[in-house]
């Protein structure tokens, strides 16, 4: 369970948020600039709370003089920020490497993920060679690799054509349910949230 009661913001504007997230798939809906991405980055530890308290499974990770760094929270914030040129396997394995997993375990998880998400056609491409749609598929798969405590997805289907979007929606939903993961998803498309999420929080 993740509970936040405080003020978030990176510069201005600031926003007060009081929400509790259990092991569920939650959608965030709202206009640009409403604080959706800032909330994901705050929960994951990339941006500190302005004031208030953030707890994960009853443990304070931000607030009252305590700040737990992102790599120690087991929360995975996944977007499409520039990634150094490398193979699909290196891209997928990056969060596992950050978590300290050994090479054999990383390779096993990568192989499983490539098969589960149908990424075999991308295995010969470097990250820089991938189109936006191909990178979206790889990014969604990287969100689910291994055993994160929770995952945060920021516009994960951006750049996908309808066929690939349908396929990735289906596989992602199955993976989230099978692993019992807490997931928070930002999307401007209401149909994505309706199909994927247990409930939707409005950031109007």
CB 151 within 8 A of CB 74: no
C-alpha R_g of the chain: 17
Q: What is the pLDDT of residue 122?
A: 94
Give me the count of residues in the chain: 204
- CATH number of the domain enclosing 116: 3.40.50.300
Q: Cα 20 vs. chain centroid, distance in angstroms? A: 17
Q: What is the pLDDT of residue 82?
A: 60
CB 138 within 8 A of CB 168: no
Q: What is the pLDDT of residue 117?
A: 94
Q: What is the pLDDT of residue 12?
A: 63
Q: For each of the chain's 204 residues, which pLDDT tens digit applies? A: 999 999 999 776 789 999 999 999 999 998 988 899 999 999 999 999 999 999 999 999 999 999 999 888 888 888 766 666 789 999 999 889 888 889 999 999 999 999 999 999 999 999 889 998 999 999 999 999 988 889 999 999 988 999 999 999 999 999 998 888 899 999 989 999 999 999 999 987
Both tokens assigned to 30: 């709202």
Q: How many domains does the chain have?
A: 1
| Degrees to nearest 5, angle at CA 171 with 167 and 173 | 115
- Can you spell out the DSSP letters for the chain? -EEEEEEE-SSS--EEEEEEE-SSEEEEE--TTSSHHHHHHHHHTSS--SEEEEEETTEEEEETTEE--GGGTTEEEE------S-BHHHHHHHHHHHTT--HHHHHHHHHHHHHHTT-GGGTT-BGGG--HHHHHHHHHHHHHSS--SEEEEESTTTT--HHHHHHHHHHHHHHHHHHT-EEEEE-S-HHHHHHH-SEEEE--
136: containing domain: 2-202
Contact partners, residue 165, CB within 8 Å, separation at least 6: 157
């Amino acid at each position: 369970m993740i509970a936040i009661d405080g003020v978030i913001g990176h510069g201005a504007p600031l926003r007060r948020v009081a929400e509790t997230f259990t092991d569920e798939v939650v959608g965030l809906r709202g206009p640009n600039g409403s604080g959706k991405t800032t909330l994901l980055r705050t929960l994951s530890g990339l941006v500190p709370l302005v004031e208030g308290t953030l707890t994960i499974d009853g443990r304070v990770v931000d607030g009252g003089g305590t700040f737990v760094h992102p790599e120690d929270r087991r929360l995975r914030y996944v977007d499409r920020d520039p990634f150094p040129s490398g193979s699909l396997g290196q891209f997928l394995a990056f969060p596992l490497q950050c978590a300290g997993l050994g090479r054999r375990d990383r390779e096993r998880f990568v192989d499983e993920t490539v098969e589960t998400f149908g990424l075999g056609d991308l295995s010969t491409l470097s990250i820089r060679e991938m189109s936006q749609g191909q990178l979206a598929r790889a990014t969604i798969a990287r969100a689910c690799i291994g055993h994160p405590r929770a995952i945060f997805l920021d516009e994960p289907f951006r750049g996908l054509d309808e066929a690939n979007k349908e396929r990735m929606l289906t596989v992602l939903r199955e993976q989230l349910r099978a692993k019992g993961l807490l997931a928070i998803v930002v999307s401007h498309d209401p149909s994505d949230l309706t199909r994927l999420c247990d409930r939707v929080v409005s950031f109007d």
